[in-house]
Amino acid sequence: MTDNTFQDGLEAGVPQLGPGAITCSPTIVETYGRVGLDFVWLDLEHSGISPTDSTAMEDLVRAAAVGGTELVVRVTSSEPAVVRKVLDAGVRNVVVPRVETASEVKRVVKASRFDYDDGPGERGVGIGRANYWGEDISADYRRREDRSVSVGVNIENHTAIENLDEILSVPELGFVLLGHQDLSVSMGAMPDDPAVQDAIETYRETADAAGVPYGRAVGMDPDAIEAAVEAGYRMLLVGDELGAVRHAFGDRIRQYE
């Protein structure tokens, strides 16, 4: 067991369900945790706060801790400095978008570690919430962080699909997450195109064979969630607060028009 309940759940094969917090509201994050959701997805690639805004990030980390859930933060790029900045704010789960090769993935994972693959990592010892602003910079802190931090990558283009076996072999890669919309863009098609669906199945089968936890977005429909779990997906993105508002209020209001 680690300090990271999301990582522990994935490693145990327990499906992890998490909604997005598009507004990056600490109140929303805490509420998600209090209703029992396993993680909260923060997509900082397309919207939300800057991943380098440590003050805002720390507030979101606190909200997740109070609510009893974990943040999973998609950063803006594979630049190691961005990954390290988010980790120092106390985030334990990071997703890196638009990767294409195993060497790129290894560079990112190494940036998240003090020790990596029987050698030194490339994470720095700074002052941040992860070590309570310098209160604990011991060897135990380094070991604890290396055990508890999980780095995943988006598989969202045809080149990554072609290189998936090598990507999945990167030491200490925590999980992979399908980006089916961007995958379809890279293939010049829509998500329901048979070629895209074949690529998605290749993603699922390859990750399953490698024993690396894999996920995707499924929305809030219970049947879609159940089907994904039965197919082996263990990280499930289940909508967001704005979609819930549209469903809870928009659909109901239209009933009276």
Q: What is the pLDDT of residue 3?
A: 87
Kindly indicate the confidence band of residue 103, based on its pLDDT and cuts at 50, 70 and 90.
very high
Q: What is the pLDDT of residue 257?
A: 67
> Residue ranges of the domains in the chain?
5-254
Structure tokens at 49: 């706060």
Kindly indicate the confidence band of residue 138, based on its pLDDT and cuts at 50, 70 and 90.
very high
Q: At residue 167, does pLDDT exceed 90?
A: yes
**Mean per-residue pLDDT of the chain:** 96
Kindly indicate the confidence band of residue 255, based on its pLDDT and cuts at 50, 70 and 90.
confident
Angle at 82 between CA 129 and CA 172, to 5 degrees: 85
Architecture of domain 5-254: Alpha-Beta Barrel (3.20)
Please state, for a pLDDT cut of 90, what percent of the chain lies above it.
94
Kindly indicate the confidence band of residue 43, based on its pLDDT and cuts at 50, 70 and 90.
very high
Q: How far is CA 203 from the centre of its chain?
A: 17
Q: At residue 136, does pLDDT exceed 80?
A: yes
**Residues 61-79: what's their mean pLDDT?**
98
Q: At residue 25, does pLDDT exceed 90?
A: yes
Q: Please report where in the chains the tokens 């522990």 appear, as a residue.
A: 8
Q: At residue 202, does pLDDT exceed 70?
A: yes
Q: How far apart are CA 153 and CA 30, in angstroms?
A: 25
Q: How far apart are CA 122 and CA 103, in angstroms?
A: 15
Q: What is the pLDDT of residue 180?
A: 97
**Residues 84-96: what's their mean pLDDT?**
98
Please state, for a pLDDT cut of 70, what percent of the chain lies above it.
99
Q: What is the pLDDT of residue 244?
A: 92
Q: Which amino acid is present at 212?
A: V
Q: What is the pLDDT of residue 203?
A: 99
